[in-house]
Amino acid sequence: MKKKIKILFATPEASPFIATGGLGEVAGSLPKALMKKYSDEMDVRIILPLYEGISSRDGFEYIGNTYVQLAWRQQYCGIYKKVENNLIYYFIDNEYYFKRSECYGHFDDGERFAFFSKAVLTILPIIDFIPHIIHANDWQTALIPVYLATKYFTNKDYWDIKSIITVHNMEYQGNFDLSIVEDVFDLSNKEKDLIEYKGAANLLKAAFEVSHIISTVSKSYSEEILNDYFAHGLASIIQKNSSKLKGILNGIDTLVYNPETDDALFKQYNYDSLHNKTYNKTNLQCLTGLSENADIPIIAVISRLVSHKGMDLIIEGMEEILKEKVQFIVLGRGDRKYELYFKSLQEAYRDKVAVRIDFNNDLARKIYGGSDFFLMPSISEPCGISQMIASRYGSVPIVHEVGGLKDSIKDSSFGSGNGFTFNEKSSKALVNTIRRGLKVYENKDDWSKLVKEVMRKDFSWENSSEKYRDMYLNLIN
């Protein structure tokens, strides 16, 4: 039998255990897809912190414990394991660091994730899994490749381990005060250069320098981040390391997001039973207090309400948008100014605009199912997942051509396509694009043809998991 490639996928979050955003979705679905398709070639395992938020611990098995040395600290490290769908998950337990109500946003996040990163490397002999590749994700795990390169390179069990850092969003780099480099990150003065960037400690920068591969979540974004506007100050480091740079588009778990089986829907449907999608639409209108009328197109926004998601473009264009015969639904939380804006918009247009300031998975699914258009005008979007989920539910995406939005949605005006797109970052372009969509909506035959086309587009991990496999194989050969 051929020897399997061993991969340890290190992540600060993974659904269904814990997910605060897109990374959680990806970590929850990519390793699963790899093990479904390639388990005869590879053994992929996942490791993440055991947060308080992981409430259901059915089937968790206690493996043992050890102590992790972080500079002068000796910290307890418990190890749990859970097997699900042929996949092994490891959880790092330390109540002092992880028994807190939120995953991130604490004064000592640097220390918490330095501990996690060191713990991942410390426990390998205990779990008896020395991987060929450690695949780290985002700044929270960025110290793993750094410790491999600085602390473990003389250890013969570890020196062949290759590292990949995947960045899901360049906005979050893990920036900390230089004063904690030695005392918390446990890096000597000599190693300081590696982590120092523009007067601060920058974990992502250090990982970019030492990892064997830098990957990101779409081809377009991997090109965009050569430019500082998208790289948030790290462009020169990416340019310097561009020979290591890869971009692979995310997929979604098409079993989890499937209108044929989704219990959250008012009625399940597929592209041969679109009348049941209409049933979802009128029920959604009823639920959200919009006037009930199957002929009025519903435009949905499900998003964090923050500037890089393009909220200002929406606001600037809103007056024009609402001149049309449309309804508008917004679900999300975010910056207070946007929350207030949308709430007052709802006050002013009760039967036309419905706003829910919330994270609500059940309602999100009802909105994907009941809406006609899904608006996602992000200013920057590494990949984006919602436009793929919306497509699966037949809500036609309207997107700004950046990053993963550009790579996943093609404009349908010129023959084949699966949505409506605009290139110019302006509310005028956004409004014009919505109007182009509404024109198609007016013609029932054209519209149902487009909805079917949109729903048929394959956003599963089928293609992308193969690209990850090739990346892993190339790296170790």
Count other Cβ atoms within 10 Å, centred on residue 359.
13
374 with 396: CB under 8 angstroms?
A: yes
* Position 439, amino acid: K
Region 238-277 residues binding ligand GLC, contact defined as CB under 6 A: 250
- Closest CB to ligand GLC among residues 22, 369: 22
In the set 22, 110, 174, 251, which binds ligand GLC (CB under 6 A)?
22
- Closest CB to ligand GLC among residues 11, 163: 11
Q: Which two tokens stand for residue 269?
A: 């449907």
Q: Does 26 bind ligand GLC (CB under 6 A)?
A: yes
In the set 118, 168, 365, 406, which binds ligand GLC (CB under 6 A)?
168
- Closest CB to ligand GLC among residues 250, 418: 250
Count other Cβ atoms within 10 Å, centred on residue 425.
16
The whole-angstrom separation of Cα 308 and Cα 376 is 11
Number of residues that bind ligand GLC (CB under 6 A): 14
* Position 474, amino acid: N
- Closest CB to ligand GLC among residues 23, 454: 23
- Closest CB to ligand GLC among residues 21, 53: 21
Question: Quick one: CA torsion of 90, 92, 93, 99, rounded to 10 degrees?
Answer: -110
Task: Select the span of 16-24, 119-127, 226-234, 271-279 touching ligand GLC (CB under 6 A).
Answer: 16-24
The whole-angstrom separation of Cα 186 and Cα 25 is 31
47 with 78: CB under 8 angstroms?
A: no
- Closest CB to ligand GLC among residues 44, 450: 44
377 with 398: CB under 8 angstroms?
A: yes
Could you tell me the smallest distance in angstroms from the CB atom of residue 216 to ligand GLC? 8
Peptide bond into 49 cis (omega under 30): no
Write the CB contacts of 385 (distance below 8 Å, at least 6 apart in sequence): 22, 25, 26, 250, 252
SS3 317: helix
Q: Does 23 bind ligand GLC (CB under 6 A)?
A: yes
Q: Does 334 bind ligand GLC (CB under 6 A)?
A: no
Q: Does 213 bind ligand GLC (CB under 6 A)?
A: no
Residue whose Cβ sits closest to ligand GLC: 22
Q: Does 78 bind ligand GLC (CB under 6 A)?
A: no
Q: Which two tokens stand for residue 131?
A: 């991987």
328 with 354: CB under 8 angstroms?
A: yes
Could you tell me the smallest distance in angstroms from the CB atom of residue 250 to ligand GLC? 5
204 with 143: CB under 8 angstroms?
A: no
- Closest CB to ligand GLC among residues 23, 77: 23
Could you tell me the smallest distance in angstroms from the CB atom of residue 137 to ligand GLC? 9
Binding mask 401-440 for ligand GLC (x = CB under 6 A): ---x------------------------------------
- Closest CB to ligand GLC among residues 397, 404: 404
Cα 305 vs. chain centroid, distance in angstroms? 16
Task: Select the span of 21-29, 181-189, 286-294, 450-458 touching ligand GLC (CB under 6 A).
Answer: 21-29
Could you tell me the smallest distance in angstroms from the CB atom of residue 187 to ligand GLC? 27
Instruction: Output the CA–CA distances (angstroms, integers) from residue 260 to 220, 368, 369, 395, 465, in the order listed.
Output: 32, 13, 11, 15, 24
- Closest CB to ligand GLC among residues 127, 226: 226
- Closest CB to ligand GLC among residues 178, 245: 245
DSSP state of 73: E
Region 366-385 residues binding ligand GLC, contact defined as CB under 6 A: 381-385
The whole-angstrom separation of Cα 131 and Cα 152 is 14
In the set 20, 21, 73, 352, which binds ligand GLC (CB under 6 A)?
21
Backbone φ and ψ for 66, nearest 5 degrees, come out as -150, -175
Could you tell me the smallest distance in angstroms from the CB atom of residue 427 to ligand GLC? 22
Could you tell me the smallest distance in angstroms from the CB atom of residue 388 to ligand GLC? 9
DSSP state of 14: B
Residues near ligand GLC (CB under 6 A) = 21-23, 26, 168-169, 217, 250, 381-385, 404
